[in-house]
Amino acid sequence: MSTRLATRFKACAAQGRAALVTFVTAGDPDYDTSLALLKALPGAGSDIIELGVPFTDPMADGPAIQAAGLRALHAGQTLAKTIAMVHAFRESDADTPIVLMGYYNPVYIYGVDRFLADAKAAGVDGLVVVDLPPEEDNELCLPALKAGLDFIRLATPTTDDRRLPKVLANTAGFVYYVSITGITGAATPDADVVGQAVARIKRHTSLPVAVGFGVRTPEQAAAIAAGADGVVVGSALVDALRASLDADSHATPATVPAVTELVGALAQAVRGAARVAAE
């Protein structure tokens, strides 16, 4: 079965380039601004959107994304509103893949079956749930796959060849390679080391491999794009949004453009790196 994620990665590969995957937090700094940004991302150059589900204890996230989640929660964002945001996005965009990224607690509280049905109906394509290891696949991964949602697994620098098959067993959509050890936005990845890690993962799977955690600049994105199927940028976009807010952390007319301009520069870099590699 062809999915939006598979179609998009295939299209990018046909163009000889990596996909640009952009992360923003749903509801940051408020629902309306967040939806406007979501709708603007594809036109700015985003190939795939990761939409962060705000949570009070985001243990894998660094200070920037933690702060974004708190802004969203203070503004009243919920998992139900995040699903509603995807539904509103789909009214004008039927092609751009959307992946919800977050933690299991909000899904558990919402109810797994209800969540999967509502997410699928809204137009969600996949899930990244960072605190559910393969040993807990019965909780959400297997039901998600049955419901027609890709379950995207994280692989890290400490995921060795013995552990990797377990991680990949029920992974779908793509493999998310965490390029550094630690939290999001905490360090800068080494493109050569990342390229070797991606090649190792691809010996175990035919799925695309997207690389994230620590990619902040167009130059870094271009370097990573040379050896990966996708480049994920999150903290840098969240930082750009935060810098555009007023003293009370409210949106300004500069908020959406602050993010889309950076996305445009990242997209240009990723596409430029692919052309150089293809020559």
Distance separating alpha carbons of residues 249 and 74, to the nearest angstrom = 11
Instruction: Name 189's Cβ contacts closer than 8 Å, sequence gap at least 6.
Output: 179, 180, 211, 213, 214, 215, 220, 224
Q: Half-sphere exposure (CA, 13 Å, Cβ side) for 95?
A: 9
Please report which helix (H) or strand (E) contains residue 80, including its range.
helix 79-90
> Measured between alpha carbons, how far is 270 from 104 in angstroms, rounded to an integer?
32
Instruction: State both tokens at 97.
Output: 């893949």
Give the catalytic positions in this structure: 50, 61
Question: What is the rounded CA–CA span in Å between residue 201 and residue 160?
Answer: 10
